[in-house]
Structure 1
Amino acid sequence: MNKTQVKLIEAAEHEFAKHGFHGASIRDITARAKANIAAVNYHFGSKETLFIEMIRHRLEPLNTLRIELLDDAVAKAGKRPLKIRRIVDILVRPMVESVVNGPQNRNFMRAMGRGMSEESEFMQQIYKDVLAKVVERFRLEMARSLADLPESVVAICFAYLRSTLSGVMQIRKNNLVLDTSIQFPDADTLVAYISGGIEAIAKDYRTQNK
C-alpha cells in the first residue's frame, strides 16, 4: 500500500467515525488527506471499497497474529484440545490490546462501529473478505474442544462469542460519543466473561444429559 492510499485510509477513518459511512463524503475524505478529489476512485474504485480496505488495513495484521498464536498453542498441546479460555484469549486479547483500547485506533473503532450499525450491504463482503477465514479457524478449534457437545450447542456458543465481540465495538463507539467516564474492561475481564459463559453452557448441557 503506497503513502497516498494510507493517507486516504486514515482520512476515511476520521470521516467515517464522525459522519458514518453514508454521511462521509469523498470530497471531505480527499480534502483531509490533501489528495485530489479523484484519488479515492483512482486508488480504490469506490467509497465502499475504501471502507473495506480500511477494515482490511487494520484487521489483517491482527488476524495473522491470531492465527499464528493459535497454531503455536495447538502445536504445543499436541493431540490434546485447547481449553476454551485459551482459545477465547487468543481471539480476544490481541483485539482488545491493539485495536479496541489502542489510542491510535479510536477513529477506526468508531468508524467500524458506525458502519456495522448502519447495516450496509457491503458489510457482508467485509465479513467474507476479511473475517471469514479467522472466524472459521477458531470455530473449528472450539468445536474440537467441545467435541462431546452437539454441533447446535457449539454453534450457539460461538454465536454468543461473535455477538459479544460485535457488541464490544458498539460499546466502544458509544463510549467515545456518550460517556467518556466509562472504563472499558481490559482483556482479562472480557476473556473471563466470554469463556465463563461458554463453559457454563457446556456444563449445563453435560449435567442435563448425563
Structure 2
Amino acid sequence: MGKPASFSTKDRILGAAEELFAQYGFAGTSLRQVTSHADVNIAAVNYHFGSKENLVNEVFRRRMDEMTAARLSQLEQARSAHPGELRAVLAAFVEPALAMAQDRQSGGAFVRVIARAYAEKNDNLRKFLSDHYGHVLREFGKAIGACVPGLSKEELYWRLDFLAGALTYAMADFGLIKRPHGISEAAHRSKAAQELIHFAEAGFRASALDAPPSP
C-alpha cells in the first residue's frame, strides 16, 4: 500500500507547485508555500525532488512528456499519410498543444506556467527544456524543411520560433478574439488551431526575404 501513497504525495506536490508557479511565478513561490498547499512536509519535497530547481523541471516534464508524445505520434502519421504536406505537419505541432490547453483540469494552470517561463529569465529551466525537448523542434524543423525546401535553415528556424510564440499566445487565450456566446470551448479551440495553421502555412511558404541594402 505504500507505493500508491508515495505516488499520491508526489502528484499532490506537483499539482500544488504548478498552481503556485502559475499564480506567483518561480521566484515568487517558496517551497514552504508548496508544502503548505500540498499538505506535506519539506522532507517529502526533498525526498521526491531534491531541490526547488528539480521541482520546477518536473512540473514541466509531467505535461511536456505527454504533449511531446502526442506531437511526435501525429507527425509520424502526417509524414506517412500526407508526405510533403505542410499543413499536416503544422497541425501535428499545433493541435496537441491546444488540446492540452483546452483541458482546464490538467492543462489550464500549466499554460500560465508556460507564460511565466517566457516572462522570467530562468536559465536552468531553459537548459532543461532545451536538453529534453529541443529534439522535438529539430524534428519538426526537418519535416517543415522537407515541405518548403526553398527556405534556408536560418529562415526556417526564425519562422518556427515565431510559430512557437504565436502558439503559446493562443494557448494562453490572450488574444482579442474571445469565444463567442453559444460556441463550445472545443469548437473555439478548433477554430483557433485552424486559423493558426493557415497563418503559419502562409508564413512558411512566403518567399525568402531580400538581403538588406548595404549601408
Same fold (TM over 0.5): yes
Of 186, 192, 196 in structure 1, the residue corresponding to residue 202 of structure 2 is 196
Structure 1: distance between partners of 2:151 and 2:110: 37
Q: Which residue of 2 aligns with 1:41?
A: 46
Q: SS of the residue aligned with 1:103?
A: coil
For each residue in 1:32-84, what CA deviation from the matched residue of structure 2 results, as whole angstroms up to 9, or x when unmatched? Answer: 1111122222111111111111111011111111111111221234xx42x22
Q: Which residue of 2 aligns with 1:117?
A: 119
Structure 1: distance between partners of 2:154 and 2:109: 37
Unaligned stretches of 5+ in structure 2? 1-5, 180-187, 210-215
Q: Which residue of 1 aligns with 2:138?
A: 136
What is the 5 A alignment of 1:130-209? 130-168=132-170, 171-172=172-173, 182-183=178-179, 186-199=192-205, 201=206, 204-205=207-208
Aligned residues: 195
Q: Which residue of 2 aligns with 1:63?
A: 68
Structure 1: distance between partners of 2:153 and 2:33: 48
TM-score if structure 1 supplies the norm length?
0.82
TM-score if structure 2 supplies the norm length?
0.80
* Misfit runs of 4+, over 6 Å: none
Structure 2: distance between partners of 1:157 and 1:90: 16
Q: In proportion to residue count, which structure has more helix? A: 1
Compare 105-114 and 150-159 and name the one that shifted more.
150-159
Q: SS of the residue aligned with 2:123?
A: coil
Structure 2: distance between partners of 1:110 and 1:205: 34
Structure 1 vs Structure 2 CA RMSD: 2.6
Structure 2: distance between partners of 1:155 and 1:17: 28
Q: Which residue of 1 aligns with 2:21?
A: 16
Q: Which residue of 1 aligns with 2:104?
A: 103
Counterpart of 1:51 in structure 2: which amino acid? V
Unaligned stretches of 5+ in structure 1? none
Counterpart of 2:102 in structure 1: which amino acid? N
Structure 1: distance between partners of 2:56 and 2:170: 20
> Structure 2 vs 1, CA of residues 73 and 16 (structure 1 numbering), >3 Å: closer, same or farther?
same
